[in-house]
């Protein structure tokens, strides 16, 4: 009963985006809209997908990049209305769905096979 109600609400009010299929280990660029006062602009975030999780309205993915030698991670929700586009730059081959070990790797060891 409760599942039917949740499914009905998700179908009616859930913002659906048509993004390409990608998995952990892929290098992607996410374009999202940022509001600064009354201005809007598109910002990009390019990095490796660390994990995908959740179902329905709570489905998320985490991207990691290194900027100036410091690791930066960002979590995106698939159903966010400010997500504009996702480009897959490179397909990666990894043996796990959640590559948390990638956080500890630096330099050449942090490369993922294509």
pLDDT at 14 (0 to 100): 67
Phi-psi region of 98 (alpha: psi -120 to 50; beta: other; left: phi over 0): beta
pLDDT at 55 (0 to 100): 84
pTM: 0.81
pLDDT at 6 (0 to 100): 77
Q: What is the CATH T-level fold of the domain 16-103, as seen in this structure?
A: SH3 type barrels. (2.30.30)
CB 65 within 8 A of CB 48: yes
Q: Which two tokens stand for residue 36?
A: 């600064």
pLDDT in tens, the chain (114 residues): 888 887 787 777 766 778 899 999 999 999 999 999 999 999 999 999 999 999 877 889 999 998 888 889 999 998 888 999 999 999 999 888 899 988 888 878 878 888
């Amino acid at each position: 009963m409760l599942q039917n109600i949740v499914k009905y609400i998700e179908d009616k009010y859930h913002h659906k985006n048509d993004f390409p299929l990608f998995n952990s280990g892929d290098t992607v660029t996410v374009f999202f809209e940022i509001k600064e006062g009354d201005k809007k602009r598109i910002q990009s975030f390019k990095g490796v997908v660390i994990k995908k999780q959740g179902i329905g309205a709570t489905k998320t993915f985490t991207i990691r990049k290194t900027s100036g030698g410091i690791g930066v991670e960002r979590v995106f929700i698939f159903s966010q209305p400010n997500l504009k586009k996702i480009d897959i730059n490179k397909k990666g081959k990894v043996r796990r769905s959640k590559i948390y070990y990638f956080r500890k790797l630096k330099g050449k060891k942090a490369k993922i096979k294509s």
